[in-house]
Amino acid sequence: MAADSFHYALSSNAAWAGYKCHQNPTFFAKQTKGQTPSILWIGCSDSRVPETTLLGLQPGDVFVHRNIANVVSPTDISVSAVIEYAVIQLKVSHIVLCGHTCCGGAAAALSNGRIGGVLDTWLTPLKTARKQHEEELQGIKDDSARAVRLAELNVEKGVEVLKSMFVVEEAMKERGLDVHGVLYDIGVGKIRDLGAGCHGGRGEEKGEIVKGKHGMLVFGNGGAAMAIR
């Protein structure tokens, strides 16, 4: 079954490449010239949250870092390297930290048992958030809703870490880099702005448009929204 899935993926890739060439003969040639993404997306490795697909954008539009439970830690050299490259070299205009519903990491952090291996250590930020907000979380009786709330708290705390990073703080002051904290609802396919981010000063009045083939992701004071134009 796994082999069949892999071969299907290869076949699907060939069909997609052929379609893109037919749709725009210069598409891949332009891709080889370099990348100029406007967005750095930091999200979860969950297979149900493919950033470019759910944003309606194209290859080259989004620079990406994904890990288990979209954790942003100042001691994680991997995420720090991605952020530094995106902010300093690519000069992205937006950093989007995205959590999601049905998050296995949030559910695991809410349990009292051990997962085993490195995952127990990796989920420490979520477990810390759980302890810091124990009363609020215990007041939520529905297990799914409680996990969603922890996922939100994880994003909020991750945004605070992002804003405290020197390269991000400097870019916010000098050229108006924006930081957004959002949550993707797997059940409906929509992104919700948590209001945890901050505007660095650019694009606040008119909004900035990031163009995709089938739509546009519009960033403004009210958050991000898709528009067909």
Sequence ranges of the binding site for Zn(2+)? 44, 46, 100, 103
Beta strands in the chain (DSSP E): 39-44, 62-67, 94-100, 178-185, 190-193, 208-211, 216-220, 223-227
Which is catalytic among the residues 61, 65, 98, 103? 103
Q: Is 142 tagged catalytic?
A: no
Q: Which residue ranges make up the annotated binding site? A: 44, 46, 100, 103
CA distance 65 to 92: 14
149 is catalytic: no
Active site annotation includes 103: yes
How many C-beta atoms surround the C-beta of residue 28 within 10 A? Answer: 12
Please identify which of the residues 44, 130, 149, 180 carries the catalytic annotation.
44
Catalytic residue of the set 61, 94, 98, 100: 100
Question: Which residue is catalytic, options 21, 48, 175, 185?
Answer: 48
Dihedral of the CA atoms 201, 198, 78, 171 (nearest 10)? 20
Q: Identify the CA nearest to 110 among candidates 137, 70, 73, 72.
A: 137
DSSP 60: T
Question: Among the options 46, 130, 149, 178, which is catalytic?
Answer: 46
Whether 133 is catalytic is: no
* Residue among 154, 114, 113 at smallest CA distance from 130: 154
- Residues annotated as part of the active site: 44, 46, 48, 100, 103
